[in-house]
Structure 1
Amino acid sequence: MPAVAFVGLGTMGSATVSRLIETGHEVHVWNRSPEPVERMRALGAIPLGSVAEAFRIGTVFSMVADDAAAESLFTDDVLSAAPEGAAHVNLASLSVAATRRLASAHRMRGIDYLAVPVLGRAEVAAAGALNLVAAGPEQALKRVEPVLQSIGKRTWYLGDDVAAASVVKIGVNFNLIHTLQALAESVTLVEAAGIDPSVFVDILTDTAYTGTAYTGYGRLIAERRYSPPGFTVGLGLKDLSLVESAAADYDVVLPTVPTLRTMFEAAIGAELGDADWSAIAEVTRGLAAQHSER
């Protein structure tokens, strides 16, 4: 198995690295804070001293929180020190604009850049069952395919334009955000009628809605089980911001976005920013409670 470097050891990054180690890869890791590095070292990963050092391995995978984190790490100074033939596979959800900027910066330094945002939570990554949405140079994708096969069940190649991968991932997350709010409203309604929300979710997901978003998030909302988070409210608001910027990039109007932003911002205002993003349901429950008190 080829050696790879991995930058960013949050929940998803750590799960992905653990899967790579489990499948026999030599993985060199870097993270801003040392604790995740030590956890991965215990599994067999090799610590790196810097992001620049990561490129000396040849192939760098990254999973960082947002545009600002990615662009603060993969700077011109870092990229200019990369050896000839290096490649960077960005697994994170970034904006269309940032994806294009990063691809351009890498291209100017002779580095192959692939946008490969992942679909699935940490437990899916750890099981090697992610869906991978890929765009960028096809020859670079073929080079890293053995690594991608270790973490994903399918890779969807969308062509050379790296922005295509970002906008598809943004579109998927927008559907998930709508799912969370639809679940929040229907659960709040049946609770008000005195119905056990867990029973309602079982009925819902055994008949009309059998997808994993409904079965998984429905139970979290019904049981108010928002910790530990698989994906936080704060990150959900970041993804909603990506939706807003993508809509502006492609000149489309998404009428529900302002309302969804209100829900996420209200959840953060209620100190739920670090809870699982399904906790936006508590905003709808709170609105129902306020109304009943009038």
Structure 2
Amino acid sequence: MTDVSFIGLGEMGSAMAGRLLETGHSVRVWNRSPGAADALVESGATHATSIDDALGAGTVISMLANDEAAEAVFTAEALATAPAGTLHINCATLSVATTDRLSDLHALAGVDYVAAPVLGRSNIAAEGRLNIVAAGTARATTRAQPYLDALGKRTWVVGERPSTASLVKIGVNYNLIHALQALAESVTLVERGGVDGITFVEILTDAAFTGSVYTGYGSLIARKAYSPPGFTVGLGLKDLSLAEQAAAANGVVLPTAPVLRDMFERALADPELAPLDWSAIAEITRGLSTDG
């Protein structure tokens, strides 16, 4: 199948690149820390020697950690080396402002740009069952769709302005953060009353809250099973910050955001919690409980 480069080989990016290999794509991989590519190369990928080499594939998918990483990699200088008609599918969760800047840079370089942030953890990515929110020109999203079909079970195209997809993903993650805190508080409540947290989560998720967020994260919180992290506390605070920024830009007040920020900042300040899965913010709520 058509050659594609994958840029950004953290846990999520590696799983997505591996999925592309499994579905028959010829994949060129590149990461700012070269060692991250080794396992994928052993599985059949080729190692791009530079960002210019990666862009040379003509189709690029990226999964970089944050705004700073994305803007450091996809500079005007780098994009100028891309062949005419190159397509870039950016699957990371970035801010609206950064997505707009990247969209402008790509347009100036003649590179089609699709923002396609994904919903799901790395195990879901490895199975090709991600949900994907995409936005870009009709031509660009049509070109991107075969790759998105390999990576996900469903794609929602939400508009022609790429940052629209970023805004939708930010809204989804803001809901998810609330779910983590709601689970933390309710599990702590029943635990303090002598009820087993795992039993409570089973009751909660059998009928009322059957989605993967409550079943998956509810289990992690009840069992305190935060390692290995699927998504770290630091990345969780990054996503909360994106929601706060988007709200400020749109004149929206988020009354609960300060409380959620406090939970994440306390977790990041704790050296035992900071490297764990973002659901570990539940331990802050547990720690607030008092005896008697």
| TM score, norm. by length of structure 1 | 0.97
Q: How do residues 108-187 of structure 1 correspond to structure 2 at under 5 angstroms?
A: 108-187=108-187
Name 2:15's counterpart in structure 1. 15
- Name the amino acid aligned to 1:235: L
1:261-286 deviation per Cα after TM superposition (whole angstroms, max 9, x unaligned): 00000001112222011000000001
CA distance in 1, matches of 2:42, 2:229: 23
- Structure 2 equivalent of residue 273 of structure 1: 274
Q: Distance in 2 between matches of 1:184 and 1:63?
A: 29
Secondary structure, in 3 states, of the residue corresponding to 1:106? helix
DSSP-derived class of the 1:254 partner: coil
Offset at residue 292 of structure 1 (A) = 2.3
Give the letter aligned to residue 49 of structure 1. Answer: T
Aligned-CA RMSD value: 0.9
> Following the alignment from structure 1 to structure 2, what is the Cα–Cα distance between the partners of residues 207 and 150?
31
Residues 96 and 163 in structure 2, CA contact (< 8 A), matched pair in contact too: yes
What amino acid is the match of 2:255?
P
Residue aligned with 2:253, SS = coil
Deviations 1:150-184 (A, max 9, x none): 11111111121111100000000001000000000
Rounded to whole Å, the distance in 1 between the matches of 2:186 and 2:200 is 9
Could you tell me how far apart the structure 2 residues matched to 1:47 and 1:141 are? 26
Please give the secondary structure, in 2, of the residue aligned with 1:292: coil
Residue in 2 aligned with 1:253? 253
Alignment-mate amino acid for residue 287 of structure 1: L
- Provide the identity percentage: 58
Between stretches 187-196 and 177-186, larger displacement belongs to 187-196
Which whole-Å CA distance do the structure 2 matches of 1:207 and 1:26 have between them?
43
User: Once the 2 structures are TM-superposed, how far is the Cα of residue 207 of structure 1 from its aligned partner?
Assistant: 2.5
Q: Deviations over 1:19-62 (max 9, x none)?
A: 00000000000011122200100111100011111111001100
Matched AA of 1:124: I
Q: Which runs of 5+ in 1 are unaligned?
A: none
1:228 alignment partner, SS class? coil
Q: Which runs of 5+ in 2 are unaligned?
A: none
- Within 5 A, what are the aligned runs for 1:206-221? 206-221=206-221
**Rounded Cα–Cα distance in structure 1 between residues aligned with 2:90 and 2:256:** 29
Deviation at 1:138, TM superposition (A): 1.2
Partners of 1:273 and 1:82 lie apart in 2 by 38
What are the equivalent positions in structure 2 for 1:55-134 lying under 5 Å apart? 55-134=55-134
Distance in 1 between residues matched to 2:227 and 2:133, nearest whole Å: 28
* Equivalent in the alignment of 1:292: 291
Residue by residue over 1:221-244, the C-alpha shift from the partner in whole angstroms, topping out at 9 and shown as x without a partner, is: 000000011111110000000001
2:156 aligned counterpart, secondary structure: strand
Aligned length: 291
Where in structure 1 do 4 or more consecutive aligned residues deviate above 3 Å?
Answer: none
Q: Which amino acid aligns with 1:205?
A: T
Q: Distance in 1 between matches of 2:80 and 2:19?
A: 30
